[in-house]
Amino acid sequence: MKRLTQLLLAGFCGLTTATYAQQTRPVWLDEITIKSFSEGIPAVLGKTNAAGDSMLINGRYFKHGVGVNATSILAFFLDGKATEFSALVGVDDKGNRNLPHTFYVIGDRNILFDSGEMRLGDAPKPVKVNLTGVKRLGLLVKVNDEGRTKVYSNWANAQLVMLDNHLPKNIPNDGERYILTPPAPKTPRINSPTVFGARPGNPFLYTIAATGDRPMTFAANRLPKGLVLDPKTGRITGSVAERGTYAVTLSAKNALGTATKTLKIRIGDTISLTPPIGWNGWNSWARLIDQEKVIASADALVKMGLRDHGWTYINIDDAWQGKRGGPLNAIQPNEKFPRFKEMVDYIHSLGLKTGIYSTPMITSYAGYVGGSSDFEDGHITDEIIANKRSYRYVGKYQFEAADARQFAEWGIDYLKYDWRIEVPSAERMAVALKQSGRDIHYSISNSAPFANVKDWVRLTNSYRTGPDIRDSWNSLFVSAFTLDKWAPHGGPGHWNDPDMMIVGNVTTGTQLHPTRLTPDEQYSHVSLFSLLAAPLLIGCPLEQLDPFTLNLLTNDEVIAIDQDPLGKSARLVMEQDGFQVWKKPLEDGSWAVGLFNVGDFGKTPQSYFRWGDETARSFTLDLVKIGLNGAFTFRDVWRQQDLGKFYGTFKTEIPHHGVVMVRMFPVK
């Protein structure tokens, strides 16, 4: 009997173990939405190299794997639900021959695999690492590409062995979305720029942006001849024939009080005396943009109160273009924009401005008609439409003059001119816009070579200083924290442009999703863009703004630093022990200073990833070391609080990838 009982118990235990044992299954990385795991800048592709061609390493083809370009960062949340990662790694045969690549596999801060330097022609190296218990996995390819192209490498045959039916997830972005900025007062406060430029005789539109309880009435004393103010809306319109600088006193009045501000109107050759701020549709809707979405965005900018804080532009990006036609043989809108001029007029009626997109190439980035053609009449063929990528070059015939005149007739206020602009194309459009009879902010995109910066300053109103931005700390760091060399060149009329803002819900290569920047990183993002005097173009659907993101975008003291009429960009004045200090002079003699905890980003393989155990660090600012002598009154601009007087040093806590941003007023 005892023996029978033992056999029965053994059988039961065996059944229990078999029933509850976790099964494993391999998961190819190219069969999940791999783009959503990328925190690098160039796109990653499954089953091909980064150019979309067959994956090939040292003459060997692979049907499975992930092709990447330049420095690549793939981050996965496994939560202990994986047992193994395996791959064959190497430089793609169509990649750059001269650059060494290093592949890393990192689990919970531990380097599990280091390939050493690999070059084109090296045999692929096998990777096989144990992931038991690993919560966060990082796949890093490190290469110093210095802006060179075709920097292709491959994670060939890359697969995870997962437990049961689990799949890898994105790294959690669950930090507290803390709100720092207090609500605007109910009394009037004027927030629009204090300087505005227009060319003689051209249409003029300036809206007095003011917060405070409504109803509110507006006034403007000493307006130059030719301008009129609507006292109910605060819109100043008309045109001014005489060159000169006109000092105008603006006022906004409600039942609780009156606010005043001096506006300098400069009529001359230079427009865009402060960086443009507004909204761009690409990172919201990409190719799905249409007339209804644009109007909804304009309405939301007003409804959300952004207009009252100075946000002005509603910019349509790529995918609005139809074929050439009309009296000017200019680009006409496609079927998604059936009443284009009415749409522009409606946006203007809200006191806002309208932007548009084009390119000097035959086809745009999204494959729509561009500003040139190999046919004299500019028509586009079915072959071009079917093979649009093959026509990303400037055609034999250019149509800048016709397109610029059409933009002016529609009432366009901003042009984004796209796709690796070279100087001759930039100059042709610059001349055409100046001869159009309308002030149109001229922005070129993307990656304007630094070697031609003097031409960009001469020809354009803003110029992209790097690649397209993505919603990751790596992309933000590359786009903004490396711009010190550009700083001396930006200023009134010609602004350094690090690309759109990556807050709220964004697309950036994948379906609409909340930005992957942590709340601390988002405060750093808005702070640094403002310190750099960069264009501020919101890249998310405005009607989807949550309270945290809206609060980020409506701090008038931060916006005022970006819009300061002196127009100087901050400079990187200190970098030590994982901290950066950026200092910006302001017109009134004060200084805006950003203290950033960048965490030695990029200096170790582990620093490219977020591990979930990061903490705030203490930092002591030595004022003398950054060239500031004497006593200063400090103001925390995010909290809009005075911090007191400081002499010599200032000590504070800064979150990981976060910021403390202060305005410093000399004590006399």
pLDDT for the residue numbered 435: 98
Q: Is residue 499 part of a domain?
A: yes
468 part of the active site: yes
Spot the catalytic one: 108, 455, 468, 499: 468
| CA end-to-end span of the chain | 99
| Boundary (domain end) residue, out of 267, 291, 311 | 267
What is the per-residue pLDDT across 259-309, written as a single tens digit (0 to 9) for each? 999 999 999 999 999 999 999 999 998 899 999 999 999 999 999 999 999
What is the per-residue pLDDT across 470-498, written as a single tens digit (0 to 9) for each? 999 999 999 999 999 999 999 999 999 99
Angle between helices 519-531 and 473-480 (to 10 degrees): 10
372 with 512, same domain?
A: yes
Least Cα distance to 427 among 464, 450, 454 occurs for: 454
Q: Average of pLDDT values for 364-373?
A: 94
pLDDT for the residue numbered 10: 44
- Find the CATH number of the domain harbouring 430: 3.20.20.70
91 with 76, same domain?
A: yes
Residue 444 has pLDDT above 80, yes or no: yes
414 with 508, same domain?
A: yes
Pairing of strands 110-118, 441-444: unpaired
- Find the CATH number of the domain harbouring 197: 2.60.40.10
318 with 384, same domain?
A: yes
Mean of pLDDT over the chain:
94
458 with 396, same domain?
A: yes
pLDDT for the residue numbered 555: 98
User: If pLDDT is split at 50, 70 and 90, which confidence band does 576 have?
Assistant: very high
Distances (CA, A) of 528 to 15, 193, 366, 501: 61, 19, 30, 11
Distances (CA, A) of 229 to 221, 224, 226: 10, 11, 10
User: If pLDDT is split at 50, 70 and 90, which confidence band does 21 have?
Assistant: low
Q: Is residue 117 part of a domain?
A: yes
Residue 82 and residue 108 in contact, taking contact as beta carbons nearer than 8 Å: no
| Boundary (domain end) residue, out of 539, 567, 595 | 567
313 with 212, same domain?
A: no
Q: Is residue 171 part of a domain?
A: no
577 part of the active site: no
Angle between helices 423-434 and 400-410 (to 10 degrees): 40
Calpha distance 641→634 (Å, rounded): 9
| Boundary (domain end) residue, out of 122, 146, 163 | 163
219 with 304, same domain?
A: no
Q: Average of pLDDT values for 318-347?
A: 97
Q: Which domain holds residue 436?
A: 277-567
Least Cα distance to 113 among 133, 141, 92, 132 occurs for: 141
- Find the CATH number of the domain harbouring 639: 2.60.40.1180
What is the per-residue pLDDT across 622-642, written as a single tens digit (0 to 9) for each? 999 999 999 999 999 999 999
Residue 243 and residue 202 in contact, taking contact as beta carbons nearer than 8 Å: no
Calpha distance 49→61 (Å, rounded): 11
Q: Domains in the chain: how many in total?
A: 4
Calpha distance 563→122 (Å, rounded): 52
Spot the catalytic one: 108, 290, 403, 418: 418
354 with 235, same domain?
A: no
Calpha distance 603→616 (Å, rounded): 19
Q: Is residue 17 part of a domain?
A: no
Residue 552 has pLDDT above 60, yes or no: yes
558 with 577, same domain?
A: no
217 with 148, same domain?
A: no
558 with 463, same domain?
A: yes
Q: Is residue 369 part of a domain?
A: yes
Distances (CA, A) of 241 to 201, 225, 397, 408: 5, 8, 35, 18
400 with 367, same domain?
A: yes
pLDDT for the residue numbered 147: 67
